[in-house]
Structure 1
């Protein structure tokens, strides 16, 4: 019975990981050779030409900078503002606490819709503005609830001791609460960072300046366009001339582009994995 369970889990893991591995292999394989089929576990004709094209695309490199900036700034500000809001809602002496809570939870189930949101963003002057990635995502109600639950689970004596020593709410929050919130900050921070990194829809609505497009939006356009022609238009003349004589296909270039876009955020997971169980379950265990 135990052996069959392990076999099942191995097959399940293989079915989940193989498509990614196959895409990685194809990205390192020569284009015309890939078009013949039969590429499975290892490159048949190893080449770095596909990645040379990807990293020679000026638009894609600029998009990487936008995505990294958006992910870092958006994650830090969103986690800080959400944690600050959650900490305030843990205070029993807060006037209107019950109504604030109902107001925030109401927004989880009912939204204004795409058109009212677009009109609001435009009226705030956030169209074609980097801040459109940051400001609308400052508060996550679900993250706020998890933060609040975690803060309530902290021993009340810690805050009382800090107040006896003369620490106010700000001092208690920064010196006591945040340092003890490492697991929940790491977990929700990762979720927030992944959401920022993977978002391609918002820029298609609010951003028209090519220099402000994040990498996921650029990747979507590449996948929907004539890939080789699209990239050749943005490559430097030296790289374009050098690659003109090489065998490139859209399938190989697409896989190389996907690998470049996917790997950075995947590399973050091992560093926060140990916080997942404690961080994710805290919102479901206590309230």
Structure 2
């Protein structure tokens, strides 16, 4: 089909704007990557834009030889996997129940759930409550409070309401129980929305650091994002490098090389971001479909 001159101009403007937006979105990450591959003292001279001037892997050697990094990464992996699995499972069950009109008081339950999206107890009451529950300084506090997401529940509920009722009735006629109906019929049909919301939940668990710093005092239980925050808050290069070098099995043999706080911070940022970025290609095909199904059918 032929396009008019005005259409070609509009397409050029749109693609140009998208290209510019993509550049501004990706360049900070790329700049951090080349800083992590450049010698620290050379980076401090400035002018580092698209390519490393003095290639080195010393920064990665320091980070990857730090035992604290691997302990924090292990905690983050446990938190992300266990938290995402439990949150998606329980939220889907909650949403499936609220999607059924025959459930007594389902409208009131829905209103109560939405109420919690706008009004919360506050930081201090929550802190005291977690302490009384024995969650303070406990690995369970990293994901138990977020096992139910009201926003995810609404998306799940909207999707479940779009499933034909005749499909469920046919399964019940064949002797399928409610649990069998949910696990054998509903869950397999919910692949796109489950994949999409699992990605959202996993990104949240992997990136969250504020509450971890409040409720966790044991350094062995802090996730990797808190490790990154601690590095960014270091006061001087000598302090940071000496801390890394004094860790048993750490990077003492590399401390004498030219490493700066900025180079270590950018390296830690790249290493911390890569795992969650690598997940995106596997769920990309479900992403748009899952969001549209969960938000447009009502």
| TM-score normalised according to structure 1 size | 0.96
Separation in structure 1 between the aligned mates of residue 14 and residue 140 of structure 2, nearest angstrom? 49
Superposition RMSD on alpha carbons, in Å?
Answer: 1.4
| Residue ranges of structure 2 left out of the alignment (5+ in a row) | 1-8
**Number of aligned positions between the proteins:** 287
State the alpha-carbon separation in 2 of the partners of residues 231 and 185 from structure 1.
43
1:211-267 CA-partner distances (Å, limit 9, x unpaired): 000011111111001364235324456654421331111111111010001111111
Aligned to 2:296: 285
Match of 2:21 among 12, 19, 35: 12
Q: For 1:86 and 1:26, how far apart are their aligned partners in 2?
A: 46
Say whether the 8 Å CA contact 1:90–1:152 is kept in structure 2.
yes
Matched, 1:81 2:90: yes
Unaligned runs of 5+ in 1: none
1:281 shift after superposition: 2.0
Supply the distance in 2 between the matched residues of 1:282 and 1:238 (Cα, whole angstroms). 50
- Confirm or deny that 1:264 pairs with 2:263: no
Structure-2 separation of matches of 1:264 and 1:277: 21
User: Quick one: distance in 1 between partners of 2:188 and 2:250?
Assistant: 49
- 1:217 lines up with 2:226 in the alignment: yes
Structure 1 residues 77-86 or 114-123, which shifts more?
114-123
1:143-154 equivalent positions in 2, closer than 5 A: 143-154=152-163
Contact 2:61–2:251 (CA under 8 A) maintained in structure 1: no
Distance, in Å, in 2 between the alignment partners of 1:100 and 1:26 is 51
Q: How far apart, CA to CA, are the structure 2 residues paired with 1:9 and 1:277?
A: 18
Q: CA deviation at 1:92?
A: 1.8
Deviation at 1:101, TM superposition (A): 1.1
Give the direction of change, closer, same or farther, for the CA distance of 1:231–1:164 in structure 2 (3 Å limit).
farther
Match of 2:210 in 1: 201
Residue 17 of structure 1: how far off its partner (Å): 1.0
TM-score by length of 2: 0.92
- The corresponding residue for 2:30 is 21
- What is the rounded CA distance, in whole Å, between the counterparts of 2:236 and 2:115 in structure 1? 44
Q: Aligned runs of 1:51-200 on 2, under 5 Å?
A: 51-200=60-209
